[in-house]
Structure 1
Amino acid sequence: MISRRTLKAKRKDRAGVLRYFLFGAFFFLSFSFSSPRWLHSQTKDSSEKPGSIYTLRVYEDLVIVDAVVTDKQGNPIKNLRPTDFTVYEDNARQTIVTFDVEDLSTRVEASHEAPLPDQPVGGGASRSTPAASLPSEAFQNHRLIILFLDLSSMPVEDLIQAQRTVREFIEKQLTPSDLVAVVVNTATVKILLDFTNDREVLRQTVQRLHLGDSANLAEAGTIDPDVSNTSSEDLSDTFVADETQFNVFNTDRKLSAIEITGKMFREIPQKKFLVHFSSGLSTTGVENQAQLRATIDALNQSNVSLYSVDARGLIAAPPAGDASKGSASGTANYSGKAIRDQYVSIANSQETLTSLALDTGGRAILDTNNLGQVFEAVREDSKSYYVLGYYSSNSRRDGSSRQIKLQVNTPGAHLKYRQGYYAPKSFE
């Protein structure tokens, strides 16, 4: 016979085994039901990321190209269609997805007798950022001109010449097709006047410019022929300050001001003409290449063409220097080195202006006392032009330079457009 104590022990063992079995079954079922949910959430997250990246890629890779098409006589060729154009990027053919025509030739052309509308277009307000109150349609079939005066680095005589040129344009050449904004660079970049065609407001704004307040900062790369050759003197004990780093940052600051100006008007999709008055702009070796590249890229992305104007006009380089400086000692005036150094300095300062203009589809007005030629160039380039857009087939975000080649199937046609751009760069 089995005692009562033995039966109680066996029942206790069976209860323990059953308890362990139920615990294991509960753990297994819990893991089984939770695992698919966990796997599903991982799959869902990974499937959402490619979609967002793809949307961003399409947005940033849209390339806009403005093209002026003229015949052999320089007259604009009209009525072209998207099928008449062929776009290549690094020799790879691209598909044109957007196409628009801007034609100002049918509107009232320049005349000092042509009246402006009773209600000027644009707010004409002074602000640090451009107004966004006007819809995009308000800028259609208008010539958008941004007058940029660098008050921080131009000598007073050059500023006076630039101010006189702008005033003559406003009084004699402004048309109802023109919308003009005024931007100055002093310690900061400021929009003195937003886009408007109110002649009186523009005249008063330009007249109120305070010239010479912060002018005559050191010019980067300037070679002073008066001290460039002192071979007949012993200057071993003379202290000469090293302004190399100052010139590097000073040039970067000037280029950055142009970049900021372009970004200010990025929200306006139409083409903008940035008329930049300066006394030359020299880079210091490779130190300014990064900022120069960033400036060109910002202008292209903002659909801004730079028209550089050398406000110094036609420069004569006397061997002994002009009357504002003392004559140099030594043999530089007699060996030709002094005048050579002057021309090298002038050429270097104009080279940067030319690069900025050509890389953004604009022009450089150099070596002329008729600074008003810049407005004639703007009017000629804006009579009729085509706006083409394509998505680049090159999806790499390497920040490399990409060449654009545009062709039109009209015999004898001449094309004017920007020749390339910098690809976006990803740091992920």
Structure 2
Amino acid sequence: FCFLCLGLPLEPQSASQKGNGPNGPNGDDQAVLRVSTRLVEVSVVVENRKGEPVRDLGRDDFTVLDDGREQQISVFSVESEQPPPAPTRPLPPNTFSNRLEYHPGTPTSVTVILLDGLNTHFDDQVYARAQVVKFLKQIRPGDHVALYTLGGNLLVLHDFTSDARSLIAALGRYAVRESGEVQASEPPKPPTSITLITPNTGGAPQGSAPSVPIEVGLERYMRETAQRSADFYSMDRALRTLSALEAIAHRLSNVPGRKNLVWVASSFPFTIGFGTANAQNVTRGERSFGHEIERAERALNDANLAIYPVDARGLVSAFADEPNLSAERSVSARRPGENALNGVGQLTPTHDTMEELADGTGGRAFYGSNDILGSIRRAVEDARVTYTLAYYPSQTEWDGGFHQIKVKVRRSGARVLCRRGYFALAEKPLGPSDRDAVLREAALSPLESMALGVTVRVGADPSIPRVIDLTVDIDPRNVRLEQQSGRWVGSLDLLFAQLSAQGQILKGLSQPMTLRLTGEEFQQILHNGLSISGRLEAVAGAERLRVIARDATSGAMGSINIPLDPYVSAASRSAGSR
């Protein structure tokens, strides 16, 4: 694959160059100036004592505290009900883009309804789906709703729209299935009776230890085996659910304004403790979930995504959880120095998990009511009037610690909903193995990432079968550049992954790249964009190409799916006709 970049010095990073960055052996230690300073954005909902949105607040009515220190509000905006913006221009033929301006119907405030079939029993799914249909029949022109489902895979049933008929039709094509994972993760039930059968020990020497009753030993073995199986499925559900949350966060990260995720489920297989620990150590038996939970926390915070957990079980009694502990079997976080979970039987109440998810992200938790319809409606109402506050933190230490955000408003009796804080993570490139793992996960993700704007133009040369021409345009506004030694320096990670119909990566081409721009080249990039061109040979069995671009400094990613058949087949037909 040959890369060209508007005649500018876009350098593939060879093994000899990997240690020669700004702080490498050939770099200097001078101060770094970023093009885009770290701006912290907070989406805020304000309601009065009656629960109604407060619409008439200005910048001076808000005070933002970062770890208790007041911050200067640099950006202030108010979003209210309005039609979605029209695209600036239609995409040309054979062009694919994840940029918002090319997607009609992407509004400034959105609500995603996630029907979680992975963590919900069949009967609860049926009831929740019926409630969602009732809600969709009542949506208003200003409601911008998307439908996602989580089961065997995370699927987008319908992207954002105010068209109730289209949403209902998409939901009608979705078949509810029994969650075998929930059933399999239920712990074994205790026996109702045990018959003690002691083997004949007539020949045993005097003073020997009594034998263990056969049936008691067998019962214990069967229960331990069933418990290990249940723990396996609980861990599997937790990992798949965390991956889904991270994928949704990446998908919505570049959508402006309020972003609500209404998560309809009857169990939540983990606990996220926003800001409870700097370095989390999360266990389930012998399996640590700290890395996965920390990544999900970071993705949710970076996307400024508010979660609205809705208990699909509806109204349950105070003892409803006792016979079905699977709904309470959670992966939990602990503070450093605290005892680890006491074995795999540690239970975390589902409602506590819901409250933590909601409080940490600026959402609400809904449980103990059969009014799922009303819960969804309340979440959508929160998107009607939202305030966006952004500030440059006065502190300059990015040590990975959690910074608590508190927003105050000068209005008596007002209640504020906003995310709890953010992780002050230093921006630095990943090592080769971590970088490859992140790119691979992005290639296999069911959703597109939109934090980095990417547009791809595709062409086929009829004289060369199975070879396609690609031009990748990357939005320079999303790329973080640093000024050092008279140059603007940045890094990009690119992956071109060819996938089968089953979603397996058949071949991947990964290319780390370094930008070193003069002042004139930097201005040219900002004005004309960053363009990379080359040719790629399609392998047998590949049905689609996943193009992924990642800012190596900030971690922002953009991805696009491109069907290969129209281009490969056209070239093959042309070659066969000669």
TM-score with structure 1 setting the length: 0.69
In structure 1, C-alpha distance between the alignment counterparts of 2:322 and 2:47, rounded to whole Å: 46
User: CA offsets, 1:135-184, max 9 Å, x none?
Assistant: 699655x641111122233221111112101100111x211001111112
User: 1:252 aligns to what?
Assistant: 239
1:272-292 deviation per Cα after TM superposition (whole angstroms, max 9, x unaligned): 111111121133864334433
CA displacement 1:197-251 (0-9 Å, x = unmatched): 2222111111111111x62304798555x32887887532332222335422431
Partner of 1:102: 79
Give the partner amino acid of 2:173. Answer: R
Q: What secondary structure sits across from 2:397 in the alignment?
A: coil
Who is 1:7 aligned against? Answer: none
Question: Does residue 203 of structure 2 align to residue 203 of structure 1?
Answer: no
Q: Whole-Å Cα distance in 1 between the matches of residues 313 and 427 of structure 2?
A: 41
Amino acid at match of 2:258: K
Aligned to 1:294: 295
Looking at structure 1, the residues matched to 164 and 297 of structure 2 have their Cα atoms a distance apart, in angstroms, of: 31
Structure 1's 68 and 188: CA in aligned 2 closer, same or farther, altered over 3 A?
same
Matches within 5 A, 1:5-404: 50-51=31-32, 54-55=34-35, 58=37, 61-104=38-81, 132=99, 134=101, 139-140=106-107, 143-171=109-137, 173-212=138-177, 215-218=179-182, 222-223=186-187, 226-227=189-190, 235-238=216-219, 239=221, 240-241=224-225, 242-243=228-229, 244-283=231-270, 286=283, 287-316=288-317, 317=319, 321=323, 348-404=349-405
Q: 8 Å contact 1:220–1:251 — kept in the other structure? A: no
Q: Distance in 1 between matches of 2:104 and 2:58?
A: 22
Q: Are residues 133 and 415 of structure 1, via their aligned partners in 2, closer, same or farther at CA, if it must alter by over 3 Å?
A: closer
State the alpha-carbon separation in 1 of the partners of residues 151 and 321 from structure 2.
33
Equivalents in 2 of 1:219, 1:51: separation in Å?
A: 54
Query: How far apart in 2 are the matches of 1:209 and 1:293?
Result: 32
Provide the C-alpha distance between the structure 1 equivalents of 2:359 and 2:417, rounded to a whole number of angstroms: 10
**Contact in 1 for aligned 2:405/2:421 (Cα 8 Å):** yes
Q: Distance in 2 between matches of 1:362 and 1:319?
A: 24
Match of 1:24 in 2: none
CA distance in 2, matches of 1:278, 1:163: 11
1:64 is displaced (CA, Å) by 1.1
Q: Which has the higher strand share?
A: 2
Equivalents in 1 of 2:395, 2:184: separation in Å?
37
Whole-Å separation in 1 of the counterparts to 2:383 and 2:322: 44
Q: Which moved more, 1:301-310 or 1:311-320?
A: 311-320
1:255–1:295 contact (8 Å) kept in structure 2: yes
Tell me if structure 2 keeps the 8 A contact 1:184–1:190. Answer: yes
Mapped to 2, the partners of 1:370 and 1:184 lie a distance apart of 20
Q: CA deviation at 1:403?
A: 0.8
Q: 1:165 to 1:82 in 2, by over 3 A?
A: same
**For residues 351 and 291 of structure 1, what CA distance do their matches in structure 2 show?**
20
**Alpha-carbon spacing, 1:396–1:223, altered in 2? closer, same or farther (3 Å):** farther
Task: Write the letter of the residue equivalent to 1:237.
Answer: L
Q: Distance in 2 between matches of 1:293 and 1:220?
A: 26
Asked if 2 retains the 8 angstrom alpha-carbon contact of 1:131 and 1:194, the reply is no
SS in 2 for 1:72: coil
CA 1:152–1:367: 2 relative to 1, 3 Å: same
- Alignment partners' CA distance in 2, 1:373 and 1:311: 13
Write the letter of the residue equivalent to 1:175.
R
- After TM superposition, give the deviation of residue 98 of structure 1 in Å: 0.5
Contact (CA 8 Å) 1:193, 1:205: kept in 2 or not?
Answer: yes
1:391 maps to amino acid:
Y
1:31 aligns with: none
Equivalent-residue separation in structure 1 for 2:238 and 2:167 (angstroms): 29
Per the alignment, do residues 319 and 296 of structure 1 end up closer, same or farther by CA in structure 2, a change over 3 Å counting?
A: closer
Q: How many residues align?
A: 336
CA RMSD of aligned residues (A): 3.5
Output the CA distance in 2 between the equivalents of 1:318 and 1:64: 40
Q: Is the 8 A contact 2:63 2:70 kept in 1?
A: yes
- Find the residue that maps to 1:165 and give its secondary structure: helix
CA gap 1:308/1:396 in 2 versus in 1, 3 angstroms:
same
Cα–Cα, structure 1 residues 196 and 190, in superposed 2: closer, same or farther, change >3 Å?
A: same
Distance 1:55 1:136, change over 3 A: farther
- Please give the secondary structure, in 1, of the residue aligned with 2:148: strand
User: Deviation of residue 133 (structure 1)?
Assistant: 5.4
Greater shift, 144-153 or 362-371, is seen at: 144-153
Look up the equivalent residue of 1:145 and give its one-letter code.
T
Aligned to 1:339: none
Kept after mapping to 2: 8 A contact 1:359/1:420: yes
For the pair shown, the structure with the greater C-alpha radius of gyration is 1
Which deviations, in whole Å up to 9, do the C-alpha atoms of 1:388-421 show, x marking residues without a partner?
A: 0011122222221111111223333322222222
Preserved contact between residue 282 and residue 348 of structure 1 (Cα < 8 Å): no
Unaligned runs of 5+ in 2: 1-25, 91-95, 197-214, 272-281, 325-345, 430-578
Q: Which has the higher helix share?
A: 1
8 Å CA contact 1:313, 1:370 repeated in 2 = yes
Q: Is the Cα contact below 8 Å between 1:189 and 1:261 reproduced in 2?
A: no
Contact 2:100 2:106 in 1 (8 A): no
Residue 52 of structure 2 aligns with an amino acid whose one-letter code is N
Gaps of 5+ in 1: 1-44, 109-116, 124-128, 323-343
